[in-house]
Structure 1
Amino acid sequence: MTTAHTVEQVPVTTLANGHRLELTVHTLRGASEGPRMVMFGGVHGDEPMGAETVRRLVAAIDPAALRGTVVLVPVANPYAHAALTRNTPLDGMNLNRTFPGDRGGSVTEQLAAVLCEILTGADYFIDYHSGGNLASVDYAYIHDEGAEMSKAYGCRVLYAGTPYPGSATGWALTHGIACMVSELGGGGQRIDEYLARGLDGTLNVLRTLSMLPGEPVAPPADQVVVGTLSTLRPTMGGTMLCEYGVDRIGERVAKGTVLARIVHPATSEELEVLTAPYEPSILVLGRESMTNVAPGDYGLMVADGSTATPAV
């Protein structure tokens, strides 16, 4: 089997101004036959950490050392990526709620349909996400089909959650593809650390699957699987003052602990207090010490520590 790195511009559709929307797809073919791994970054445009992780993986994976094939799409939603928005600006749709899409539909529906075509025939799939423009996150989803990938990736908290309807992972699992979703970094904080962890974690996944040579690094000794994860969304907008910020992600805190306060930006009136809902609560998504929030924003995210079991 001849090694190769090919780059293809896969057409999606043509816009009203005549611009041709395309996806850049890298294919790394290894020196020997083996599994097919697909990786997506940038499904949500306000999560450039995933796109950058996949871009760096293109250079980090040596086809000469590879067994099988790795297909990488660094920017799965180009217009959302350019606008730094979660949803596609052209139709307002969330790409990760649109799979399997529709080749005859709107821009986002056509993107989903093309991405499904790229996923078809894969053995493994990793979807890279992060905390968006203002928050950092640190966990990975774990599914029965692909559990070894999630453990090898190295996050200390693994979430055994059901995929969202219309997500790429949900579609892939129903088509027999083993999956992992990375939720790592974001918010412009600790960028180099999170990028290094995403890169190293993925290479360790490939070693675990015997797609790259070398002995895999063992998962963290304190890695746990949790069954419940909740987003704390403020009902009032204002200035969010975090008492447990990005530097506290991963900590366990007692139920009722004050995690953040929402204050009026002009009068300093305290509008709302966000507290830990579980005994204990494990912080998995946080913000910097001060950020603006609107009603319903992702404020913080915590896992129910009482559901935690060793990942072993």
Structure 2
Amino acid sequence: MRRINPPKRESLLIDGGEIEPGFKGYIPLPIAGMLGGGETALPLHCVRGASSGPVLAVQACVHGDEPQPVRALHNVLKKIDAEKFRGTLLMIPVANPFAFADFSRQSPDQHEQTNLWGAFPGNPKGTLTQRYAAKIREALIDNADFFAEFHSGGRAGRIQNRVDMDPGVKDPEVKGSAGKKARAMALAFARGGAGLVHGVPLSKASAPGYALSRGIPAISVEIGGAYLPEAEEAPYRRCLEEGLWNLMVHLGMLAGRERHSRLTYFDVSHRAEVNPSAGGYLLSRKTRFADIGGRVRKGQLLGEMLDPYTLEVTEELRSPSDGILFFSRCSGPVEVGNKGFAIATKTKKI
């Protein structure tokens, strides 16, 4: 795959201050004073290489119960030498500090707009969630040549390992430029270990979807889960680290050889879900790293639902078709309406 030619950039302004070439450091972005007397801020980490190149903006923990990317971003950041780096990496490891502190998916403030994922482009005078979105738009998206958002399974026990890209951006100009580059981003990242590429529309109210609507190539990454023991969490973390590293090699920001490998692609119109018909305790049979992206057969037992009160098995969850398992859950409480498992029913190698 041909690498992207890095654009020239004379200056970079973040929150009113200019970032000089060779800079590697931490820049807190103030948001607002809080009732408890402190101030909430977004944690921006910046590496501006000594040589010119693209600006890659990355954010994680849009949902506060998805902390896994934090450790991966820490590991990647400490390996980067600004003197040998080309271009700029802008990174916000915790995009929603309010939700992160509460270990909740959404901000705990009492307003309609509490899900940062759908709050873009934001409002600098709105709710706290909208203010976070506005600052992310201003500091990250408006400065970016490329954008990536990291998610992981939250406290409900979800496990995933894929890269989402929008296969059908409706704006012809975006589809021909940003859409094509976003596809190349998704492939480069997935070749770091995720292996699965999912074609799915990205909402314009999300940060990646908003970036695409502005002509900025963008992807959304879904890797790992919460509460995983170290041995089970480590391979997902490596997928994040090596995916981001391979993406930066692809963009010409790092020296090295870009990984090239065959990937599995599927789109949102060719998927089947297996969801419990009632709440209960899920006994999952698909919790290993190797299970995600693995093949399942029609009728194969994926899990069972246990009534936690009568202690009887009430339901078997079986695959409705042959395919690739791309969404699973750890064993634990599951409420009615929660997703259980998801299978890609039609895939192709790319």
TM norm. shorter chain > 0.5: yes
Deviates more, 1:263-272 or 1:46-55: 263-272
State whether structure 2 residue 228 is matched by structure 1 residue 199. Answer: no
| Mapped pair 1:294 → 2:329 | no
- Check if 1:141 corresponds to 2:181: no
How far off is 1:230 after superposition? 5.0
* 3-state SS of paired residue (1:64): coil
1:60–1:91 distance in 2 versus 1, CA, 3 Å: farther
AA partner of residue 322 (structure 2): P
Q: Distance in 2 between matches of 1:294 and 1:165?
A: 29
CA deviations on 1:87-119 (whole Å, 9 max, x unpaired) are: 111246111011111112111111111111121
- Mapped pair 1:282 → 2:304: no
Paired position in structure 2 for 1:210:
252
Deviations 1:243-289 (A, max 9, x none): 33334221211233331221201213333333323x3231112223x
Q: Which residue is equivalent to 2:313?
A: 270
Q: Residues 107-133 of structure 1: CA distance to partner in whole angstroms, max 9, x if unpaired?
A: 111111111112103111111111112
Residues 1:151 and 2:174 aligned together? no
Given that residues 35 and 68 in structure 1 are in contact (C-alpha distance below 8 angstroms), is that contact kept between their aligned partners in structure 2?
yes
| Secondary structure class of the residue paired with 2:106 | coil
For residues 227 and 288 of structure 2, the distance between their equivalents in structure 1, rounded to whole angstroms, comes to: 11
Alpha-carbon distance change, 148 to 241 in structure 1, aligned in 2, over 3 angstroms: same
Cα shift at 1:231: 4.8
Q: Is the 8 A contact 1:246 1:285 kept in 2?
A: no
Residue 237 in structure 1 maps to residue 273 in structure 2: no
Instruction: Give the alignment partner of residue 37 of structure 2, picking from 18, 30, 36.
Output: 18
Match of 1:121 among 143, 157, 166: 143
Q: Residue 141 of structure 1 contacts residue 160 of structure 1 at CA under 8 Å; is this kept in 2?
A: yes
Residues 200-238 of structure 1: CA distance to partner in whole angstroms, max 9, x if unpaired? Answer: 11111100111111111213x3x1110124554433111
Q: Percent identical across equivalent pairs?
A: 30
**Which one-letter code corresponds to 1:29 in the other structure?**
R
Q: Which moved more, 1:170-179 or 1:267-276?
A: 267-276
| TM-score normalised according to structure 2 size | 0.82
- How far apart in 2 are the matches of 1:106 and 1:38? 24
Matched, 1:83 2:102: yes
Matches within 5 A, 1:29-48: 29-48=48-67
- Aligned match of 1:49 in 50, 55, 68? 68
Q: TM-score, normalised by structure 1?
A: 0.91
- What secondary structure is seen at the aligned counterpart in 2 of 1:120? helix
**One-letter code aligned to 1:262:** M
Equivalent position to 1:2, from 14, 17, 21: 21
Q: Are positions 1:112 and 2:153 aligned together?
A: no
Distance 1:94 1:241 in 2: 29
Instruction: Tell me which of 154, 178, 181 is aligned to 2:217.
Output: 178
- Give the C-alpha shift of residue 184 in structure 1: 0.7
Q: State the alpha-carbon separation in 2 of the partners of residues 257 and 249 from structure 1.
A: 15
Structure 1 unaligned residues grouped into runs of 5+: none
Cα 1:58/1:137, change in 2 over 3 Å: same
TM-aligned CA distance change 1:299 to 1:96, over 3 Å: same
- Could you tell me how far apart the structure 2 residues matched to 1:178 and 1:269 are? 50
Give the whole-Å Cα distance in 1 for the aligned partners of 2:275 and 2:134: 32
Shift of 1:46: 0.8
For residues 6-38 of structure 1, what are the alpha-carbon distances to aligned partners after superposition, in whole Å with 9 as ceiling and x for unaligned?
321111122223321101111111011111110
Q: CA deviation at 1:186?
A: 1.0
For the 8 Å contact 1:136–1:246, the answer to whether it is kept is no
Equivalent residue letter for 1:192: A
Partners of 1:8 and 1:34 in 2: CA distance: 21
**Contact 2:165 2:219 (C-alpha < 8 Å) held by counterparts:** yes
Please list every run of 5 or more consecutive structure 2 residues that lacks an aligned counterpart in the other structure.
1-19, 167-178
